[in-house]
Amino acid sequence: MTNQEGPAAAPQWFRELKKFEIPSIPKAVWQLVNTIVPFLVCWGAMAVMLRHGVPYYFVLPLAIPTSLFLVRVFIFFHDCTHGSFFKNPHANAVVGWILGIFMFTAYRDWRRSHGIHHATNANLDRRGVGDVWTLTLEEFRASSIGRKLWYRIYRNPVFMFLIVPPILFLFIHRLPTSKAPGPETASVWLTNLGVAGFIVALGFLGGWDLLLLIHLPVLYLTWVIGVWLFYVQHQFDPGYWAHKDEWSAFDAAMLGSSHYKLPRLLQWFSGNIGLHHIHHLRPKIPNYNLERCYRAIKELQLPQPLTVFRSLRSLTLNLWDEKTKMLITFGQAMRLIKASLTSLFVCPEA
């Protein structure tokens, strides 16, 4: 399908998805309870252990389940930005703003940039907002040495998943996104005040050791996991990218957004976000309805979902090859560039 962005471009079953968009206050409230309460219990257990002199190497592993609960909190924040967690837009705004403080992310500003991501996902002519920097093979080939070097550093897994997350949440999210309107800009500064207030309160009331030895590691793991999930949802084999004259929102959802089939427990912690193809088809479907939608519509049950093992290959996929219409590795890119250069100097046989 090409050149069509709305439901008219999709098959009949697409319209059946709308019934899953209806939010549920009991489900939303229950999710908040069954996530925030155990998060506080895990966090509190770490604090008690630290205060009672338990060796830190016994305390730190608890940061893993604690951070997983916080990942789930981010999914609720994400739903609020789509206006899907609650039916009432004011409830979404208030809860989203509060959760945003704890996630170090401004609700209104992130809602705007994430909305742009949904509108431009996999569109080669509209990259740059709310996405992972992705070059085509030809763009990489034509780049300067400095740009090639920076791109290779950026796409290095160590940099991408261990260094970028704290930079993104601690510094980049502290500033409004490019060309953000006044309300979105104001939301960033208000969130910054909230974040600063939270840090000061935790430091003075709980102790700076709790902030540095407990909350910071928990946040760091949460951010790393979050960046990985966002990355793998759109950077996978074979993937989908197209120029605007061939691009369609339907294909960008079904082909350019993964069905990341996680183990049951991890699917729960990640708020069903692995069903990302459904989320991009209908962003208004709240996380607690995604699996029910998946089971009800057989066309959404993709034959080859992205498994955890297969997703690891995404670590090496760095460039979009417009000829093969696949993401390729730097090694494959170098061989293709070398082959094309060699062909220029090979004279055809007489």
pLDDT at residue 76, rounded to an integer: 98
Is residue 281 included in any domain, yes or no? yes
Secondary structure class of 258 (helix, strand, coil):
coil
Residues 6+ apart with CB under 8 A from 295: 301
Is residue 211 included in any domain, yes or no? yes
Give 98-143 pLDDT, tens digit per residue: 999 999 999 999 999 999 999 999 999 999 898 999 999 999 999 9
Domain carrying residue 94: 7-133+157-237+246-312
Matching residue, tokens 């996530």 = 35
How many whole angstroms separate alpha carbon 264 and alpha carbon 238? 25
Instruction: Give the number of domains in the chain.
Output: 1
Segment 223-251 shows an average pLDDT of 95
Which residues in 227-241 are b (16+ Cβ under 10 Å) and which e? bbbbbbbbbbeebbb
Is residue 296 included in any domain, yes or no? yes
Segment 153-172 shows an average pLDDT of 97
Residue 340's pLDDT band (cuts 50, 70, 90):
confident
pLDDT at residue 349, rounded to an integer: 53
Is residue 349 included in any domain, yes or no? no
Is residue 293 included in any domain, yes or no? yes
pLDDT at residue 4, rounded to an integer: 45
How many whole angstroms separate alpha carbon 240 and alpha carbon 89? 33
Is residue 91 included in any domain, yes or no? yes
Cβ 17 vs Cβ 278: under 8 Å: yes
Cα–Cα separations (whole angstroms), residue 291 to 16, 83, 278, 279, 295: 14, 19, 9, 11, 6
